[in-house]
Structure 1
């Protein structure tokens, strides 16, 4: 059907849920909608506080709900691990082996439905921002643990030959950090550091971080799934100047 749009599904935790908050400026969700306008519907399924255990339980139902006889999920951007990476004593924690198993389940379900996958690995964490008003939760997270889960996402993506966007390394590179430099965001280092302009509370994203995510998701799509490159996917229906009579549009709608 001419107006049956296939879909791009954004599936993740609060960073995906908040990816439409334009109060902060540039956001990942609207940017994806804009670049696929008239090509695919972009569906947001972000759930604040959820981890990969929750995601693995939900994925089949979400895929079923977004699949119809005329509309399929073409691409899933899967972003979990930020909550999994809390310390084992915290309720959101998921050990790395199970985190990777959960991602395997999500990838398998998506691929069975014919969807391509981009896995997004967790970004860095800034202790000094996070503890403001959260002193009782100060030791739940560290940027070192976040990097370990980002590494796990990279390993899993390589194993399954799917695209990966390693946000820990990409944000750190964007702010000028290099391997061997002091790691911004650690409790023992200065509170003033460049991460503060990427993270609004030490964890969630400002526009600069969403820009890094968007640019690298599109880069990954072009490299791994060129048929889904927004520049290649055709728009629905002819451009207005080609509609020289109502019959032209009627024919296109058939």
Structure 2
């Protein structure tokens, strides 16, 4: 009989976020944190980078109506359907891990009339957790967004409150963890000029921290056990 080979299907890790996750950087050519993360894990996992530049937490919630200006540079499917999650994340689920980093655009209301208030951000993250869980994601790692160093005290306070809401979910939902706190880890030297996108050094820092965190998570990983009634 002819020999048959069967390729083992790898588990997935899905990355959800804005332009920092999608891969934008400041200060010349640089590998993004997501590219470095993928290179490290691609022999063991299929890595899906679903990050989309310009998106905030509201854009990832289902349904997400299109509240952006017509001048947006997003492709038509996003502006017409307003369904980033369905188009970029859902086709790649279920997954073993989803890594979520949102808040940089929320904090200033990028391409929106106003910044995202803390309650709305918190509810959005809760809904995203629900969407991922419903789609079969086993573990969700929430990453605090970096500090916006040149946008003033109110923006800074808002991001800190965002992070507090992320922390509360990691303490109350068993499948959710709070990852490395990039608000504290990244410094002004990790960005070029007034850019909110990390430079090569900043992206490398993010990659190193997330890789280390995920490796430790996998080492200690225990699937959530759901008790069924008799």
Normalised to the residue count of structure 2, the TM-score between the two structures is 0.70
Contact 1:100 1:156 in 2 (8 A): no
Q: Does 1:220 align with 2:220?
A: no
Q: 1:160 aligns with which of 164, 167, 173?
A: 173
In 1, the alpha carbon distance for the partners of 2:27 and 2:35 equals 8
- Could you tell me which runs of 5 or more consecutive residues in structure 2 were left unpaired when the two chains were aligned: 1-5, 63-83, 222-230
- Could you tell me which runs of 5 or more consecutive residues in structure 1 were left unpaired when the two chains were aligned: 128-137, 173-194, 229-254
Instruction: List aligned pairs for 1:1-254, cutoff 5 A.
Output: 2-18=7-23, 23-57=28-62, 58-60=84-86, 62-67=88-93, 72-86=94-108, 91=113, 93-112=115-134, 113-127=136-150, 142-161=155-174, 162-165=176-179, 166-172=181-187, 195=188, 197-200=189-192, 201-226=194-219
- Tell which deviates more after alignment, 219-228 or 39-48: 219-228
Q: 1:53 to 1:31 in 2, by over 3 A?
A: same
Contact 2:24 2:197 in 1 (8 A): no
Contact 2:55 2:105 in 1 (8 A): yes
Contact 2:50 2:89 in 1 (8 A): no
Q: 1:80, CA displacement in angstroms? A: 0.6
- Tell which deviates more after alignment, 98-107 or 144-153: 144-153
Deviations 1:103-142 (A, max 9, x none): 1122222223133111111111121xxxxxxxxxx67973
Normalised to the residue count of structure 1, the TM-score between the two structures is 0.64
Contact 2:26 2:197 in 1 (8 A): no
Q: 1:22 to 1:139 in 2, by over 3 A?
A: closer
Q: 1:52, CA displacement in angstroms? A: 0.6
SS of 2:50 mapped into structure 1: strand
In 2, the alpha carbon distance for the partners of 1:111 and 1:103 equals 12
In 1, the alpha carbon distance for the partners of 2:53 and 2:190 equals 19
Alignment length (residue pairs): 191
Name the Cα RMSD after superposition: 3.1
